[in-house]
Structure 1
Amino acid sequence: MSFYAKDSTALLIVDPYNDFMSEGGKLYDITKPQADSVSFYENMRKLIPAVRAAGIKVFIVPHHRTRPTDFADWAAVNPTQQDTFRKKCFEEGAWGGEFHPEFGPKPGDVIALEHWAQNGFAGTDLDAQLKQHGRNKLIFVGFIANSCVESSARMGMELGYHVTLIKDAVGAFNPEGMVAARVNAKLFAHSELTTDELLEALQVTAKA
């Protein structure tokens, strides 16, 4: 049996919103240079269909959708949350807060509860959903490499999951963020693969 067996592996797509991944999204232009530097969109178009074809379950890890009452009377709102609120990123009921039609959820996927900051496990049902579906190997893709992807993947390691990062299927706000993600990954990720390396591993699975 291959390492990435379909019954124990999950693909986690972090924050696949229009505001990030669709032209015209509020964060598309600022993230696109970094995404393009690793061929993010081309790789996502190869990776996601291959994962689905391999029978691996997809989990969506969504950021909190902005609402008018957010952070009212909060004691500690961080600068990123303030900026997201000010710009109305991922706004509830708006196009930017809808999932990207290609990279977002499909029937049969699991959509976790929204995370308020960066960690997809914090205050959500992600851990429970993964355990209920018998998944102990997690493959992470999406945005942002040194923020929500890193924070969620790091927590996954702390919770005892095997964590794989796909280093050319993530994007960031700036080149420094992409570098930071690769440096920090050495401290927690069990495996860092390219899209092609993952696809090769999945082909081995299919032949096993």
Structure 2
Amino acid sequence: MTHVYDKTTTGLLLVDPYNDFLSPEGKSFPRAKEVADSVNLLEHLKEIVNAVREAGIQVFFVPHHRSEPDDFENWLFPTPYQLGVKERQTFAKGSWGGEFHEDFQPQKGDVIIKEHWGSSGFANTDLDHQLKMHGVQKIIVVGLLANTCIEATARFGMELGYHVTLVKDATAAFSKEAMRVAHEINGPTFAHAILTTKELLAEV
């Protein structure tokens, strides 16, 4: 089956392209480095972003909440994962780690979605509204991490009626097992296409 990514109905969701994830000095980079290097993550993300821009496909930045010291203090049910992010101050607001990587700076016409507090870029943000207002029916989901924000965002997108594409070498995780599960076990239950960067670029 051929998947056609028309510029009028396709959107690229670039999830959490922060320095803390993508730069060697980033707080979370060491945990993802082995997997990221094994799939050539940074180069593939750059290739995809450049290609979709050239094709006229809309780019949506889907950023995680930027940490602040008093996050979750009065929340009923913060998760251990959220509390860990708070403790480490990953993507800290106003910090270098909480800035977008130099290779992924928003350009004129890009849409920056409201920050998500959990894993899904859709939950409690304006992502669904922005996609609908831009006529998007198909979403290509890339960025970090494969088994958390990428999976949650992509799965939520499927539930909302979008055609979902995962790009298995344009993401990373903290372990090879997490990557395998994301693409071989969980991904096929919700994604309409799971491609490599090379396969995607041939269809954009």
After superposition, the CA RMSD in angstroms is 1.0
3-state DSSP of counterpart to 1:12: strand
Q: Does the 8 Å CA contact 1:17/1:90 hold for their aligned counterparts? A: yes
2-side partners of 1:73 and 1:48: how far apart? 38
1-side partners of 2:30 and 2:72: how far apart? 27
Q: Does the 8 Å CA contact 1:60/1:104 hold for their aligned counterparts? A: no
Structure 1 segments of 4+ aligned residues over 6 angstroms from their partners: none
- The offset of 1:132, in angstroms, is 0.5
- Look up the match of 1:45: 46
Q: What is the aligned residue count?
A: 201
2:203 to 194, 201, 206: 201
1-side partners of 2:179 and 2:62: how far apart? 20
AA of the residue aligned to 2:113: A
Length-normalised TM-score, structure 1: 0.94
Gaps of 5+ in 1: 203-208
- Look up the match of 2:124: 123
Bigger Cα displacement from structure 2, 140-149 vs 38-47: 38-47
2-side partners of 1:5 and 1:85: how far apart? 39
- Look up the match of 1:63: 64
Length-normalised TM-score, structure 2: 0.96
Identity of aligned residues (%): 53
Q: Does the 8 Å CA contact 1:16/1:143 hold for their aligned counterparts? A: yes
1-side partners of 2:54 and 2:73: how far apart? 44
1-side partners of 2:177 and 2:25: how far apart? 24
- The offset of 1:45, in angstroms, is 2.1
Gaps of 5+ in 2: none
2-side partners of 1:20 and 1:107: how far apart? 24
- The offset of 1:37, in angstroms, is 1.4
3-state DSSP of counterpart to 2:104: coil
